[in-house]
Structure 1
Amino acid sequence: MEVRAATEVPWSDVEGLFADGGDPSTCSCQWFRMSGPAFEALSDSERRDRLRAECAGPEPGPGVVALRDDVPVGWCGVGPMSGYPRLGRSPLLRGTSADWAVTCFVVPERFRRQGIARALIAGAVDHARASGADSLVAVPVDVAARPAATAAELYHGPLALFLEAGFTEVARPSAARAVVRLDL
C-alpha cells in the first residue's frame, strides 16, 4: 500500500472515495474548514468543488490518499491548523496546541478492516513531517468507552490507532473522546 498527498493523485481518485454516500459525500472534508452557517450555506456539490480546488492547490494540500495496486482505498484529512478554524475554536482542544491536525478518515466499507487506517495515519504523519509540521493533534474516539460507536461516529479515528502510531493522550474532554498529540 502506498500513501500519497492528495495533490499528487488524480482528482478522480479523491472524488471516488467520497462518492459512496453517507457523511463523506455531503461533507467533502469541509466541516472543520468553515463556520457552521458557512458550511450549511453550501450545497454538497459546492463543498465537493472546494475540496477539488484544495487538491489542485499548492502543497501541503488537504489530506492524503491510500492506494493499493493504484486503486484508491482511503483518505485522511490532515493539514495545518490554520486551515481548520472550526477545530481551532473547538472546546475539545482548549489548552492544547499543535500546528497541524488529523481531522478525519474515509475508508469505503468494502475496504475496512484491512489496515488502511493504520497506513493512512502513518502517511499523514510522514506528510506533516515532510511539510515542516512541528506537531500533530487529533480528537479520536475511545471505542473502549463507547463500544457501540457507529462508523459515522468513528470518522475521527479510534484512539488505539493513534496511540499505536506514537501519539500521546494529552486531554480527555469526555469519557469517549480523547485529545492526542504527536511531536515531530
Structure 2
Amino acid sequence: MVLSFKPLTTATWHDFESLLGAYEGCKGCWCMHWRLTFPDWKKQQGEGNRQAMKAYVDAGDVPGILAYAEGRPVAWCGCGPREWYPRLNKSQVAKPVDDQEVLSVNCFFVDRQARGNNIQLELLHEILRFAKQQGYRVVEGYPVEPGERRLDSSTSLVGLAKAFEEAGFHEVARRKEDRPIMRKEIQTG
C-alpha cells in the first residue's frame, strides 16, 4: 500500500471527519481522550468532542497526521506537545518521565480495510519527519505491548510497542507490565 500524509488542518478537516465519522468518531472520542478529564470527556462524548477537536483545528493547532491511500484517508495518528494532554500527567502509566519538552504520540486509528499493512510504522516515520520540521528534539509514545493476549481495536489505539521499536524508539520507563513509555531523539542538522 503506497501512502501519502497530510497534517490535520482546516484544509484536511473533512478527511479526518470522514475517516473517524465512519466509526462514530471512535466511540465518540474524536481524539479528545487525553485532552480532557474523564468526566468532561464523557459528558461531551460524541458531537461535543467532535466540535471541541474542530475548535482546536480552527484555532490553528495541528493535532496529528492523516495517512492516505489512493487519495482516500485510511489512518490517523494523534500527536502534539505534551502540554496539550493534561490527562497524561495524571495517568499512572503515562505521567511524565522528566521535564523534557516532547511531542506526544498518543492515538492511532486505521480504517478496517487498511489494517494489516504496517501503517502504524509508516505513520511513526512521518511523525518523526513532522517533529523535526516543528523543531522537536524528542518524540514520546505510550504504546501497548500485548504479549500473548489478543488486542481489540480500542486497546491498541495507543499504538503497538513493536511499531515504535521498528521506528527506532527505545523504552525510557515502564510503570505497567504491558505499557512502556518509548522515546526517539530527533537528529538535528
Shared fold (TM-score greater than 0.5)? yes
Cα distance in 1 for partners of 2:68, 2:126 equals: 11
Give 3-state SS (helix, strand or coil) of 1:50's partner: helix
Deviation at 1:92, TM superposition (A): 1.6
Provide the rounded CA distance (Å) in 1 between the counterparts of 2:24 and 2:140: 25
Structure 2 stretches of 5 or more lacking a match? Answer: none
Aligned residues: 182
**Letter aligned with residue 166 of structure 1:** G
TM-score, normalising length from structure 1? 0.91
CA-based RMSD of the aligned residues comes to 1.8
Q: How does 1:112-131 map to 2 (within 5 A)?
A: 112-131=115-134
Q: How far off its partner does 1:13 sit?
A: 0.4
Aligned to 2:28: 26
Q: Does 1:169 align with 2:171?
A: yes
Q: Deviations over 1:7-33 (max 9, x none)?
A: 174221000111232671410000000
Superposition map of 1:31-180 within 5 A: 31-59=33-61, 61-94=62-95, 96-97=97-98, 98=100, 99-144=102-147, 146-180=148-182
Structure 1 residues 48 and 161: CA distance shift in structure 2, 3 A:
same
- Alpha-carbon deviations, 1:126-183, whole Å to 9, x = none? 1122112121111111122x53121210001110000111110112222211111111
Give the match's secondary structure for 1:117: helix
Helix, strand or coil: the match of 1:179? strand
One-letter code of the match for 2:107?
C
Residues 1:43 and 1:92: Cα distance change in structure 2 (over 3 Å): closer
Query: Unaligned 5+ residue runs, structure 1?
Result: none
Moved over 6 A (4+): none
Instruction: Looking at secondary structure, tell me which structure has more helix per residue.
Output: 1
CA gap of 1:141–1:130, structure 2 versus 1, over 3 A, is same
Per mean C-alpha deviation after superposition, the further-off stretch among 2-11 and 81-90 is: 2-11
